[in-house]
């Protein structure tokens, strides 16, 4: 709750979050991801807190999105669908999704949640973008490995879609949406991992039990966020290639770093 208040105060236009409650962990296990987030420490852990965050975000005149962007088995799809319905009833604005079947269900239900395609769906061309648009998607988060040139090759012509750019995030050697490593190998997952940094700024885990995380074994993730992953173009160029939102991936970061990133992007781009 405190983190939500802090980023709203810093000037964020939207919040996105994950939720993983006790009943999910009890029924499916703590390693059954509800989102692509590392363990329960990266999630809102109760419906009461989720409801309070939604209420406070809406009172501030901002929007809030729930990430349900893992790949799901048939056994859990109904529960994810129910969570989205609960979030909508709380007043949530949209959902960040990877599974086409969930988008189809929301469309069938006449849901008012705005469907946003996660970067983990790995949309890198106009054909895949149109596929998700046909399911009702309104916005697509472009994957982290995609360059501006790669985005410009197809986004500008898709006038019915908006695109979101990962402006501040932890870099990784793997391709969004094609990474098979499991990020929740610590048990129990509500114990936070401990890290240290080498002279190059790479992060490595101090806990031997966390050594199964492939990203950490390669020493390729965990760099502190920078103002942008590459130089951002001016606003006119962003509009030309239909990038309407800039995303800060603040999961696992100190809240002060996320607030500084929000302020830096505000200073660079205004409202």
Q: 16, 96 in Cβ contact below 8 A?
A: yes
Among left, alpha and beta (phi > 0; psi -120 to 50; other), residue 122 is: left
Distance between CA atoms of 154 and 124, rounded to whole angstroms? 8
C-beta neighbour count of 89 within 10 angstroms: 10
pLDDT, one tens digit per residue, over 257-271 is 888 888 888 887 876
pLDDT, one tens digit per residue, over 29-72 is 776 778 866 566 678 889 999 999 999 999 999 999 999 998 88
Q: 205, 212 in Cβ contact below 8 A?
A: no
DSSP assigned state of 40: G
pLDDT, one tens digit per residue, over 75-130 is 889 999 999 999 999 999 999 999 999 999 999 999 999 999 999 899 999 999 99
Segments making up each domain of the chain, as ranges = 2-174+225-269
Joined together, the tokens standing for residue 56 give 């406070």
CATH code, residues 2-174+225-269: 3.20.20.60
Joined together, the tokens standing for residue 25 give 């962990």
Which H helix or E strand runs over 258? helix 255-269
Query: Which residues are CB-contacts of 116 (< 8 A; sequence separation ≥ 6)?
Result: 65, 94, 95, 96, 97, 137, 138, 139, 140, 141, 164
pTM of the model: 0.81
Q: Which residue from 65, 63, 115, 116 is spatially nearest to 87, judged by alpha carbons?
A: 65
Confidence of residue 188 (pLDDT cuts 50, 70, 90): very low
């Amino acid at each position: 709750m405190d983190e939500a208040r802090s980023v709203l105060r810093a000037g964020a236009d939207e919040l996105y979050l994950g939720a993983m409650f006790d009943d999910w962990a009890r029924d499916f296990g703590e390693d059954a991801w509800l989102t692509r987030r590392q363990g329960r420490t990266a999630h809102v852990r109760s419906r009461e807190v989720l409801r309070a965050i939604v209420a406070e975000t809406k009172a501030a005149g901002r929007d809030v999105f729930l990430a349900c962007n893992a790949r799901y088995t048939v056994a859990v799809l109904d529960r994810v669908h129910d969570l989205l319905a609960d979030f909508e009833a709380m007043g949530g604005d949209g959902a960040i999704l990877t599974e086409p079947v969930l988008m189809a269900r929301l469309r069938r239900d006449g849901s008012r949640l705005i469907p946003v395609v996660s970067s983990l769906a790995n949309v890198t061309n106009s054909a895949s973008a149109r596929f998700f648009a046909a399911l009702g998607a309104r916005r697509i988060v472009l994957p982290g490995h995609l360059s501006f040139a790669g985005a410009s090759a197809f986004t500008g012509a898709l006038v019915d879609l908006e695109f979101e750019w990962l402006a501040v995030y932890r870099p990784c050697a793997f391709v969004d949406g094609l990474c098979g490593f499991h990020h929740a190998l610590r048990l129990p997952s509500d114990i936070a991992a401990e890290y240290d940094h080498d002279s190059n700024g790479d992060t490595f885990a101090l806990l031997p039990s966390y050594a199964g995380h492939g990203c950490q074994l390669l020493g390729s993730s965990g760099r502190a966020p920078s103002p942008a992953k590459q130089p951002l173009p001016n606003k006119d160029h962003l509009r030309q290639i239909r990038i309407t939102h800039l995303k800060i991936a603040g999961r696992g970061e100190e809240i002060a770093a996320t607030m500084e990133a929000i302020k830096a992007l505000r200073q660079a781009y205004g409202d």
